[in-house]
Amino acid sequence: QQQVKQSPQSLIVQKGGISIINCAYENTAFDYFPWYQQFPGKGPALLIAIRPDVSEKKEGRFTISFNKSAKQFSLHIMDSQPGDSATYFCAASKGSARQLTFGSGTQLTVLP
Amino acid sequence: DAGVIQSPRHEVTEMGQEVTLRCKPISGHDYLFWYRQTMMRGLELLIYFNNNVPIDDSGMPEDRFSAKMPNASFSTLKIQPSEPRDSAVYFCASSFWAGGQDTQYFGPGTRLTVL
């Protein structure tokens, strides 16, 4: 009930391409869905987040698409750059609870 | 602000030794989280505190692990005795609720190797 399933495990994209990472959740009480970006040797950092009252949120080249009925959300990286190469984690939390349930991570490699 | 500070950054120890990891959260943050990251299990929440009080320690793997937060600016995660399977990167994160959004800020992590 607390799981967040993330796919794919790894992704290779050409520079300028679109990177898409998907997550699915089970607990309908989840109401906050952030994405974190982690570079090697660093801690994860918040990239973008969404709440279920909207179906899409865009910040620069990064977009979250949210499908409440399917209990799925995805991260789209437009015009992917080599500097975007990192591990991306989706996560979810519910209500006033502050702890996050993380997906398993996607290692993105953007080829120059 | 310097962000979340963790020490040491790297720790190599022998099985059976006591290990203490340290964390200084961002000033003003009221929540503090300890995570463990491994290739096999990903990011796991071990324990979290609110206003220095432990709220949920259900992620602590066993009694060998303990965590304290004696004041708002310092927390420790202790492993005694350590075992090779404890080898992982341990992250501390802190957060503050503002404007309907809660952002967890992670430290750089401590890479623990138990021989």
- Per-residue model confidence as pLDDT tens digits over B52-106: 999 999 999 889 999 999 999 999 999 999 999 999 999 999 998 776 677 899 9
The confidence score (pLDDT) of residue B102 equals 75
The confidence score (pLDDT) of residue B55 equals 93
Q: Is the pLDDT of residue B37 over 90?
A: yes
Contact B37, B88 (CB under 8 A): yes
Q: Which residues of A touch B105 (CB under 8 A)?
A: 45-46
Q: Which residues of A touch B45 (CB under 8 A)?
A: 99-100
d(CA A69, CA A72): 8
Q: Is A100 in Cβ contact with B4 (below 8 Å)?
A: no
The confidence score (pLDDT) of residue A97 equals 62
Close Cβ partners of B112 (under 8 Å, ≥ 6 residues apart) = B11, B13, B19, B21, B79, B82, B86, B87, B88, B89, B90
Residue in A41, A49, A98 closest to B95 by CB: A98
Mean pLDDT of A49-65: 93
Q: Is the pLDDT of residue B9 over 90?
A: yes
Q: Scan for tokens 């004041």, then name that residue.
A: B71
Contacts across the A-B interface (CB distance below 8 Å): 45
Q: How many Cβ atoms from other residues are within 10 Å of residue A97's Cβ?
A: 16
Q: Which residues of A touch B31 (CB under 8 A)?
A: 98
Q: Is B101 in Cβ contact with A100 (below 8 Å)?
A: no
Q: Is B95 in Cβ contact with A32 (below 8 Å)?
A: no
The confidence score (pLDDT) of residue A96 equals 63
- Nearest 5°: phi and psi at B62? -170, 175
Q: Is A104 in Cβ contact with B42 (below 8 Å)?
A: yes
DSSP assignment of A45-104: EEEEEE-TT-SEEEETTEEEEEETTTTEEEEEESS--GGG-EEEEEEEEETT--PPEE--
Q: Scan for tokens 């990891």, then name that residue.
A: B21
Between A20 and B61, the higher pLDDT residue: A20
Q: Is the pLDDT of residue A1 over 60?
A: no
Q: Is the pLDDT of residue A98 over 80?
A: no
Decide if A9 touches B, using CB distance below 8 A: no
Mean pLDDT of A74-97: 92
Residue A30's closest CA among A44, A49, A51?
A: A51
The confidence score (pLDDT) of residue A15 equals 97
Looking at chain B, the whole-number percentage of residues with pLDDT higher than 70 is 96
B8-25 burial, b if ≥16 CB within 10 A, otherwise e? eeebebeeeeebebbbbb
Decide if A78 touches B, using CB distance below 8 A: no
Residue in B45, B97, B103 closest to A99 by CB: B45
Bridge partners for B56 per DSSP: B48
β-strands A30-38, B53-56: how paired?
unpaired
Among chain A residues, CA nearest to B47: A99
Q: Which of A10, A30, A98 is the best mutation test for B, with the most CBs of B within 10 A?
A: A98
